[in-house]
Chains A and B, each alone.
Chain A
Amino acid sequence: MAKARTLYDKIWDDHVVDRQDDGTCLLYIDRHLVHEVTSPQAFEGLRAAGRKVRQPHKTLAVVDHNVPTSDRSQGIEDPESATQVATLAQNAKEFGVEYYNELDTRQGIVHVVGPEQGFTLPGMTIVCGDSHTSTHGAFGSLAHGIGTSEVEHVLATQTLIQKKAKNFRVTVDGKLPAGVTAKDIILSIIGETGTAGGTGHVMEYAGEAIRALSMEGRMTVCNMAIEGGARAGMIAPDEKTYAYLKDRPKSPKGEAWDAAVRYWDSLRTDEGAFFDTEIRLDAANLPPIVTWGTSPEDVISVAGVVPNPDDIQDENKRLSKWRALEYMGLKPGTKITDITLDRVFIGSCTNGRIEDLRAVAKVVEGKRVHEAVNAMIVPGSGIVKMQAEAEGLDKIFKAAGFDWREPGCSMCLAMNADRLAPGERCASTSNRNFEGRQGFKGRTHLVSPAMAAAAAIAGRFVDIRTFG
């Protein structure tokens, strides 16, 4: 009998082009997403060496990090951002790569666009010069971020030099309580494993609570695999996956679709397959999460208090957590629901999809954003924006006092004009609470869309389970 294999093992095995004696492999890459920040030096490298893009039609370029989220029909004001965007447009043209510019309805955050267009498919190897490429693993693909040198390598050869990672399975049993979401699952997992817990591993998410998630929810979970140190997160494809992908512009059609589904159906971890590491969580015990520090592992229940770093044994870790509290302007013992906010950011490749916006609308309908809070909503793509407007969500947001903006990465990493001022405190649906991430000396608390929405209304964190 064939050896029992994990989902990761199967996709890996199906993509090995060449294997050296020491285990170093050449792995074939099916899909390559490209954005403006991490690609200019790669294209420049190709040009300098007189190389071409090996498979232009397996490559898709979209501008997302630098674009303003205000009206951009008049061009991009920041000259450096404008240059980077123009450089991608020029490179895409010169190397024959499909490109969605800032005025294209299909434009958006690369990790929202890939699945939306059916460019992302199960069983594929997918890379992008962006750590949140792990998002695409939600479709049962092997997807991870790479550096710019590797972007150039994939452009030139459609392969990557890789060594196989270890297998890690996180099983989330049971049912989520009302008000607890995919975001709270992944933040809880990171709280459990630590931000380096997944290093050297590919993490498969399984169990009843994961199966029950929508594709949007699964993308939120896999998106933050990297925040737990795992380059790739993945979830086995099922009927929900197929329903999401059917009839997308780049999804296979007709007989090709049927053949694809037959193959995709084989992409499940076999009974008895070996995992180097396994953990289990019970969904029923998970609360809405708020991060208190400057690492995504710094998680606490909304019903809890800011922890005391003096309780940590390890000296380096204790000092780092004190440093985090000082940066965040927080004291141990402070109730999370006593923390007041200046800003709320809803969007990003973690939580900028239609389901996230619906969750926000449900919380804020008929209410007003707190007078001390500036709250913005940035849809993940032009298509998400159109869908939200077709459902009238934009009217609910505007009536409540939210700023409804154009799609892009925006204040998740603050490369455009959307950023925190020093000292400003923000409830954010994004993925990183690092020092300076949302602006120099800005203070970020990571939460789910519903929790961010409720915080915008209350002006402080509130427990979404009892908010009404």
Chain B
Amino acid sequence: MDKFTVLESVAAPLRIINVDTDMIIPKQYLKTIKRTGLGRGLFSEMRYREDGSENPDFVLNQPAYRNAKILIAGDNFGCGSSREHAPWALLDFGIRCVISTSFADIFYNNCFQNGILPIKVSPEDLEKLFDDASRGSNATLTVDLEAQEIRGPDGGRIHFEIDPFKKHCMLNGLDGIGLTMEKAPAIDAFEKKLSERAWA
């Protein structure tokens, strides 16, 4: 997993609430047995028209946002299906950070597994960020994970909260399985105790 330290980019505004993971990556793209190559399916039902051509109205098709690494979206982003294909698609497209007022739990966890930083901000701050983002390539945001801060184009600063353990793993690009493997003796001990329960 790539480390996440400081990210500077144009931010794309997606003013929709309850963006579900079916919307982020529709099921026809889930038939892959790989983690890569899903970027072309990102938001495909909004991004492409029925004939397969790009929908020019969709934010990520507009010239200013084609290379956006930050996505700003409405409340409850990533709800629905647990598919990790959603963060895989975002990552493959180039998105490394999503900012919203809230995220669905499973999606939120899945982001950290893939080096994507989901940031929760207040509704007022989200409105400010939507405004910044609407200025397109004239406005870039800087996301500083160490400082837990979003810096706007006009010098504004927004502080955000993040779980310290998740922050540590992101800053250092740590793999959860590797960390847990170091605790194998504790798992062994737990399983020994568990064996007293014949049904378990």
Contact = CB atoms under 8 A, between A and B. Distances in A.
Given A37-B30, A257-B199, A157 B18 contact: no
Report, as a range, how many residues of chain B touch the other chain: 35 or more
Interface in B22-65: 22-23, 26-28, 30-35, 45, 50
B84 interface: yes
A222 B190 CA distance: 29
B147 interface: no
B31 A159 contact: no
A413 interface: yes
B31 A84 contact: yes
A248 interface: no
A147 B177 contact: no
Contact of B187 (A84, A159, A260, A435): A159
Given A38-B83, A129-B82, A84 B186 contact: no
B146 to A, nearest CB: 17
A316 interface: yes
A319 interface: yes
Interface stretch (B3-11, B103-111, B132-140, B152-160): B103-111
Contact of B176 (A40, A44, A149, A297): A149
A24 interface: yes
A313 to B, nearest CB: 12
Contacts of A240: none
Contacts of A158: 187, 191
Interface stretch (A15-23, A106-114, A169-177, A210-218): A15-23
B199 A256 contact: yes
Contacts of B76: 195-196, 199, 229
A81 interface: yes
A415 B23 contact: no
Nearest to B112: A149
A414 interface: yes
Contact of B27 (A320, A323, A413): A413
A263 B180 CA distance: 29
Report, as a range, how many residues of chain A touch the other chain: 35 or more
A109 to B, nearest CB: 14
Contact of A153 (B18, B177, B183, B191): B177
Contacts of A465: none
Interface string B69-110: 000001110011111100100000000000000111110011
Which residue, of A54, A84, A149, A152, has the highest number of chain B Cβ atoms within 10 A? A149
A316 B74 contact: yes
A434 interface: yes
A350 interface: no
Contact of B197 (A65, A263, A295): A263
A124 interface: yes
A161 interface: yes
B105 A229 contact: yes
Nearest to A431: B80
A32 interface: no
A66 B176 contact: no
B61 to A, nearest CB: 18
Contacts of A413: 22, 27, 81
Nearest to A163: B163
Nearest to B198: A256
Nearest to B103: A199
A266 B18 CA distance: 38
A38 B22 contact: no
Interface in A139-174: 144-150, 152-153, 156-159, 161, 163, 165
B187 A41 contact: no
A121 interface: yes
A51 B178 CA distance: 11
A259 B198 contact: yes
Interface string A246-278: 000000100111011001000000000000000
Interface string A42-78: 0010000101001000000000011000000000001
A35 B123 CA distance: 38
Interface string A390-428: 000000000000000000000001110000001000000
A149 B81 contact: no
B74 A432 contact: no
Contacts of B113: 147, 149-150
B79 A229 contact: yes
A317 B16 CA distance: 8
A156 B177 contact: yes
Interface string A289-325: 0000001010000000000000000001101100100
A305 B34 CA distance: 45
Nearest to B190: A17
B23 A145 contact: no
B199 A252 contact: yes
A320 B74 contact: yes
B79 A320 contact: no
Given A150-B113, A415-B27, A131 B80 contact: yes
7 contacts: A65-B30, A147-B82, A157-B181, A158-B191, A199-B76, A229-B104, A316-B74
Interface of B: 15-18, 20, 22-23, 26-28, 30-35, 45, 50, 74-76, 79-84, 87, 102-106, 109-110, 113-114, 163-165, 176-177, 179-181, 183-184, 186-187, 190-191, 194, 197-200
Interface of A: 17-18, 20, 22, 24, 26, 28, 30, 37-38, 40-41, 44, 49, 51, 54, 65-66, 78, 80-81, 83-84, 87, 121, 124, 129-131, 133, 144-150, 152-153, 156-159, 161, 163, 165, 195-196, 199-200, 226-227, 229, 231, 252, 255-257, 259-260, 263, 295, 297, 316-317, 319-320, 323, 413-415, 422, 432, 434-437, 440-441
Given A49-B177, A150-B110, 20 more contacts: A17-B190, A26-B186, A37-B30, A40-B33, A40-B34, A51-B177, A80-B31, A146-B109, A147-B87, A147-B113, A149-B176, A157-B177, A231-B106, A256-B198, A316-B15, A319-B16, A320-B16, A432-B20, A432-B80, A435-B22
Those 5 A-B pairs whose CB atoms lie nearest each other, nearest first: A252-B199, A149-B113, A40-B33, A147-B110, A147-B84
